[in-house]
Chains A and B, each alone.
Chain A
């Protein structure tokens, strides 16, 4: 303790001066220690008061707390005798430039996600980032984002993020860590870093790469390993097979007329998916008459959103997809081999597909999924070459990764080194390998052999637990960095807020490694780009500052996208041999209730590899297709469930190579038979209050030699049940015309077919006079042809409108609070149904059934046709919800909003009320956004322009499926869409006259395959 105090006394004055010089604006400080920064000061505080009332945070010892309270109450009078020191408060007279209280500012930055970036604009209220929007200038965003970017702002404020440097589990300081690191490096300097290892996730950040290279220069024998559980090894290996080098494959879906996806979920799962979804749906939207609609063929092993958009879908086991690729290649004349036996029933399908591809040379596209083996990727490259698609729909560039290694190999090498005792110091920069490493590598056991283990991470997770040191990492909204998008475009990540929990960035850590502790991330990133600038790449900017300002302002650095690269295909005669013949989970091996099956490992649709496990928004977001929340499940086909006698929620034992998990079953229509799909990311032990201990850990089964699918899994019933919670229990439309679907052909023959499906009473068929809308009349159109069901709207709405998370139990009884939901319906057989998505916000009916039944007038019609909810007036009879045929109203059955957690308070949108218990709520068409724009327009004395108001769901939508505007203006986009023949409202026969309408979905099937 005394040592610490000594440390505290010996303040480094030089560092202080530097800090003061760097600080912008006046900085107030009370003592040198405090100024010298919290580190020592904190250490001093901790030394003086070793346990700063830890009981207060511990629910168990409330008694103790009460005792303390009693004592303080008794002594309260005593303090009156002492005069409190004067502390002058400072008025906000010299406000910082640009900040106007009540007006949000938007800053461009980028969110790194598994290596690739999505450019975003972050809304900041008085210095608090509250909402993430897409950056229209960024190629991976085009103004939209995915669910992860939307939810990332919640992770920033997560109170469970690690908040302090720990050493062997007890509180320590950054300086103590630096000392320990210095000691560890001392030994390494001698051996040129032979025992030093860095383990990172995918690195595309030029700055981070530069720093790591510098470290490797300093320690030439040190090694840098990369491991990302959702890695892209197969894509890299496939490119190496096909071209002899690793290249990045980029697609131009907007140029493709015919697309074949070989297990590639390009609409949600690829780097750049948001942009791809935009490109893809730009060719799905139809004018009248419909022209140029693309056609999508999907062969997939797990039902995905991409599969749900397919005109023709073939569900096969993952191991069988290679045979499809070979069969198609054969039809295209690339291979000369027999079609696999099991594909004979699909022969006509494949032939028709091949003919379709051949008809569209140069305008077709074949995409392979990251889960498919390298051979499939190579075949896809070869077929794209053969069809003349290269340079048109497929573009090859340099890899965006700083060092494109195969992650599994890299990790294996590290494990081998650790096992052999060659690793003395391991720095894990991000990631959670103890949890995510393939089970057979036994990473945790080998890790224990390393003498100095340090982990930098957002959470004190499973890996932090096994490391000597854990350093809290800064969130991307808290620190400077840079990152590349899927096309190579670099962005500067600029912080929106000072680190909430005193985190450090990887840049700062590496800087310490390089012997420059205390260098700020800001300086490090600027250094990188100054060097780049000085190479003269941007002569249009007069100096570096100018360039820097523009780079920050735009959010994407001009001219950093990689140029297309020409590659030469090296295909051996007869194609590439497949290393493993398609697995045969055969019926013959059936023994009792056990059968060997194929297993698919997939990242979870909402919590990804587990990194978002403690994010309530993502946990509660219904997973596409299954609509499950708060859990993962073993997905099986209805036929398999029938054979095994399984129902949803039955616990089964999944066994693979002597490793076993117990998983609940979820029967998923359209899942290929004889296989089971598990999602990674659940079963966390140390994720935080929300994420710990929910679901099952599928990593336990995941082997290093078959990361994505494996044959030979046995499934057996345990007889136990587990409660899975889904937000949609009924999957058929019951013959009601809710999602209206036709084919392009039908539409051409009879453009009015959509309207004929339902009844829409004329507005004058009533005795009562209608409302007159003289000014604006707000309305919305949702294009079902463009909606891919990605859920981004749901989570954007949640972020914008302060929608609370209710937890698994409440979702289980049907009380989720989402104001917009994506309904999913099936049509056709259980084994291969067509899947439709329908986002449902409030319909803002002109004859709203909810309004007449409210006894207190808490839901009323406004003069612009909005059906508005007056929270203050609501007494909570719930009659409005009962009478709402669309069931879009949500009720606070309990106090769902978190009114106590400090950090979440900062996340909330100050323009939207945080609702209390007992109050009904629902979609408002983002009234706060309408009013912001209205005020601006009124100030300028002009009407609101079309497209000026973007609702949160509309703004985030990757495919621009949601259009909002003034239907009184016949030239507005929304009015024009409402005039389309495909436009229809749901349940119009009730004479509700919904303001939200839909454009019917059109399919474009190949007439050779589908005869209707």
Chain B
């Protein structure tokens, strides 16, 4: 920064980060105390019980919905001919999208050396895992004969039959299982040093044993750190293409078909951007209340929220471009089916969902251009929630409005979700929250060692600034 002109500095001021990455007054010890203390010493906040109680109730509803589903069949949902896919697929894509933020933050931002990621990466990775778990439920539940799910796997069957590899659903199986596995490994590897810290700080014998086993003998030696760094870089390298591939492949479920509204080449990039968009929205939705609940404002600072809001704004714009191009291509292609589909989306019986989607995903997020909005925590929370809803609506619009009126007007129909559709949907939200809250209850929600690392860097930088005050004008 020493070489920039004063003019450029003034210009860049607007883009300057809001405050430090870690609140003032922290030492290595206090960071460790605070994060591990949330699990080990401090009393569980009341808010945790409230959220977990609600989430657990929803999980019970999910159990009921799934039990009923297995006893009667997918006919308990609102799906029909022509709308063969309904909430199950909408929710599946939605959850997979949410699951994107974690890997993006951990892998890509790690490779890009974005330090601000440390406070939220653990948290986002856990979220990814749980979102993928929720997402993974749906393709199984939505099958007519779920007990035969393993037929989608290429196992050596005595009948000599294989999956049909031309089908994007088979690609899905690979994409999602790979993604799930790599995310789990990544998360777990990143946890090991912290698990060791927990082991060392735990007072109860049982906790010591469990953390000890999970820490896999971590002692913090230089060799350990070396291997750790290598492994996490390798995993980051593996995970990076997955961030792009998973949602691209999920989008193939649609793009490979011939249904107007699905059969379009823009889907892969637009789905990936949408996934990151919704992923960051979900990180914000969870981070804001938890940071408050556990008083972590000094570790997950305004700077983090601001940066995430910016990522949302950027990906939101890509998504908006996607919507625009969809409409443009429908017109430009001259394909009457595509044109009708677009017109039907905008003016047909499901038009309210389309316009709600535009409102939630395109219009309201434009508020994020304002720095004041980005740093206004309650407002940011609301916007993140709206984006979550908007992204769900986007999948609803894609799945339902494309299917309900396709080629032959004689077969057009309507789709109305039933109570079981909603029960399953909210049930998985409950499952997600329950897992998430169990996670923050038993594991360090923020990476202790990485935060300490960041703290060291910050201190170094501050020291540097103190040594050369005149070299950094305007600081």
Contact = CB atoms under 8 A, between A and B. Distances in A.
B406 interface: yes
B24 interface: no
Given A840-B410, A876-B143, A918-B144, A814 B403 contact: no
Contacts of A814: 80-83, 413-414
B412 A730 contact: yes
Given A853-B257, A917-B144, A893 B163 contact: no
Interface stretch (B148-156, B237-245, B422-430): B148-156
Contacts of A857: 161-164
B167 A894 contact: no
A875 B413 contact: no
Interface stretch (A142-150, A879-887, A900-908, A963-971): A879-887
Interface stretch (B41-49, B68-76, B309-317): B68-76
B144 A853 contact: no
A849 interface: yes
A878 B85 contact: yes
A423 interface: no
A738 interface: yes
B258 A883 contact: yes
Interface stretch (A40-48, A297-305, A817-825): A817-825
B84 interface: yes
Contacts, number: 166
Interface residues of A, number: 54
A882 B408 contact: no
B74 A875 contact: no
A813 B258 contact: no
Nearest to A893: B75
A875 B80 contact: no
B145 A823 contact: no
B78 interface: yes
Interface string A736-763: 1010000000000000000000000000
Contacts of A838: 410
A919 interface: yes
Q: Which DSSP category, helix, strand, loop or mixed, fits chain A's interface?
A: loop
Nearest to A811: B80
Given A736-B336, A882-B85, A823 B73 contact: no
A829 to B, nearest CB: 18
Interface in A840-898: 840, 849, 852-857, 873-879, 881-883, 885-887, 889-895
Contacts of B409: 730-734, 736, 738, 825
Given A729-B413, A814-B81, A874-B145, A735 B73 contact: no
Contact of B81 (A856, A881, A917, A986): A881
B168 interface: yes
A840 B74 CA distance: 26
A877 B143 contact: yes
A990 to B, nearest CB: 6
A815 interface: yes
A885 B258 contact: yes
Nearest to A860: B164
Interface string B72-116: 111110111111110000000000000000000000000000000
A810 interface: yes
A889 B151 CA distance: 21
Contacts of B146: 875
B331 interface: no
B167 A853 contact: yes
A738 B408 CA distance: 8
B349 to A, nearest CB: 10
A813 B79 CA distance: 8
B259 A856 contact: no
Contacts of B410: 728, 730, 738, 821, 823-825, 838, 840
Interface in A685-739: 728-736, 738
Contacts of A734: 340, 409
A813 B145 contact: no
A875 B149 contact: yes
Contact of B164 (A849, A856, A882): A856
B145 A918 contact: yes
Contact of A891 (B81, B163, B164, B170): B81
Nearest to B171: A855
A840 B151 contact: no
B304 interface: no
Interface in B427-473: none
A852 B169 CA distance: 10
A458 interface: no
Given A732-B409, A885-B258, A887-B411, A875 B151 contact: yes
Contact of B412 (A729, A853, A918, A986): A729
A408 interface: no
26 contacts: A729-B412, A729-B414, A730-B410, A815-B80, A821-B410, A840-B408, A849-B257, A852-B166, A853-B167, A853-B256, A856-B152, A857-B161, A877-B169, A878-B79, A878-B144, A879-B85, A881-B81, A882-B84, A885-B258, A887-B407, A892-B144, A895-B73, A917-B73, A917-B75, A986-B408, A990-B407
Closest 6 CB pairs of A and B: A876-B144, A918-B144, A893-B75, A814-B80, A878-B84, A894-B75
Interface of A: 728-736, 738, 810, 813-815, 821, 823-825, 838, 840, 849, 852-857, 873-879, 881-883, 885-887, 889-895, 917-920, 986-987, 990
Given A889-B81, A894-B72, 18 more contacts: A729-B414, A734-B409, A735-B336, A813-B80, A815-B75, A821-B410, A853-B256, A855-B152, A855-B169, A856-B161, A874-B145, A875-B143, A875-B144, A875-B145, A878-B85, A890-B81, A917-B73, A919-B145
